[in-house]
Amino acid sequence: MKLKVLATSVALVATLFGSVALADPPNFDFFGYANVPTVVGGTLTLRSVLTNNGVVPTPIALDFTNNQYTLVVTGTLASIVGIKGNYSPATISIYEEPIGGTAADYAVPSTFTDGGNLILGGSFDGNLERTRFTSTLGSFLGKIDFSSGSKLGLLVTPGDWPFGGGWSRSVSGIPAGYHENWDGKIDLAVVAVEDRAWGSVKSLFR
């Protein structure tokens, strides 16, 4: 009987949402490749391109028609604990470059930073964590505090932006000189709320 109730519930949800396209919440979606150190003290470098391209909304307005957006993360491997590598300090930079300029080229690292317009820059709040599930597959996770860039003032809040995704060493097309493909996103930071009694909330609308 319980299985029948569960099946009915699943069917109802499918009916309600089957014809509705659920939009992705705004985020910075990126796809790129990383150099990954094997010993403590080594430097991780991720070079990537934002891939929203007008399909997934971004937290702030970006012009993908006329610009390319690149993202660079660097971090020092501070410790290895079991299957987890902790990178600290770690920083992030997002650049904007007009299309027609120097396109991002993984064989030429400077093409990811030569756009001339740093739109957002910051550091990881705590560690950037890279977890290994197998020898060729894993995940990464962290939180970003933005503190610089020409578009910093457009952020509702600069701190605690979730950063995460998955990495793979088995996908085809990893450029020479890189170890892993990193596919991830930076989500909107949760805006702090203030506790209030229901009566005080209602009074705001009187």
Q: Mind listing the pLDDT tens digit for each residue in 136-169?
A: 999 999 999 999 999 999 999 999 999 999 999 9
Q: Mind listing the pLDDT tens digit for each residue in 40-96?
A: 999 999 999 999 987 899 999 999 999 999 999 999 999 999 999 999 999 999 999
Q: Give the domain ranges of the chain.
A: 26-189
* Environment class of 64 (CB within 10 Å of its CB; exposed 0-12, middle 13-18, buried 19+): middle
Residue given tokens 């299985």 in the structure block: 3
Please state, as a whole number, how many other Cβ atoms lie within 10 Å of the Cβ of residue 107: 9
